[in-house]
Structure 1
C-alpha cells in the first residue's frame, strides 16, 4: 500500500471551511501519480510512446469532512489489473480515520483515445504493488 501525505490549505476549502468535495479528486490524483512514480513507471516515456492513463470510472464515498490545516494521508492500493485497466482503492485519512474512500478505474489509451494494452513492464511493476487498503 502506498501512502502520500497532503496538507489542507485555505484554497482547498469552501465557504463552510471544509474541504470542497472536488478537491478530494485532486488529492487522490496526486497520490496515484506518486504511486506510479514510486513503482518506477515513467508516464512521460509512455506518453512519448503514444500511451497514457485516463480515469474511466470513480465510485466515491464522502464520510467525514477535512478542514483547513489538517494533515491527511492518501492510501492507494491495487484492487485489480487487466491487460488494459487498473482498478485502485484509495482512501483519504486523518489520524487513521477514513474521511473519503474511492474505487478508481484507470484505463490505458493510445493517441487516438482507444483502449490499449498496458505495456508489459508497467503491468509487471503494478502487479507487484501491495494490495489495496481494507
Structure 2
C-alpha cells in the first residue's frame, strides 16, 4: 500500500503563513513587554537609590557645614562663626550660578535643531519617493 503525499495548496500555505506570522508577532510583543517591564523595574530601583544617595549626600554636606561652624566657634562667638560660614556658602553659590549661566547661554535652542532635522527627513523621503516613481 503506497501512501501519496499531497503538497499543501498555495491557499493553505498562505493561511499557515498568516497564522504563524500572527503568532510570532504576538509572541514578540509579549517578550518585548516583559523586557520593558523588567527594564522599568530596574530603572525604578536605580532612580530610588540615586535619590537616597542624593539625600544622604545633602545630609553629609549639612553636617560638614555644622562642623565648620563648630570649629570656628572655638575662636569666635558662635553667631560670628555661623555668619562667616553662611557668607562663604553664598559666595560659592554665586560662583556656581555664574558658571551655570555661561553654560546655559552656550546651548542652542532645541526647537531649531529638531525643525531642521525634520525638514531634512521630509526632503529625503520626498526625494526617495520621486526617485521610485520614475
Which of the five TM-score ranges fits, normalised by the shorter chain?
under 0.3
Structure with higher strand content: 1
- Which structure has more RCO (C-alpha within 8 Å, separation ≥ 6)? 1
Structure with higher helix content: 2
Larger radius of gyration: 2
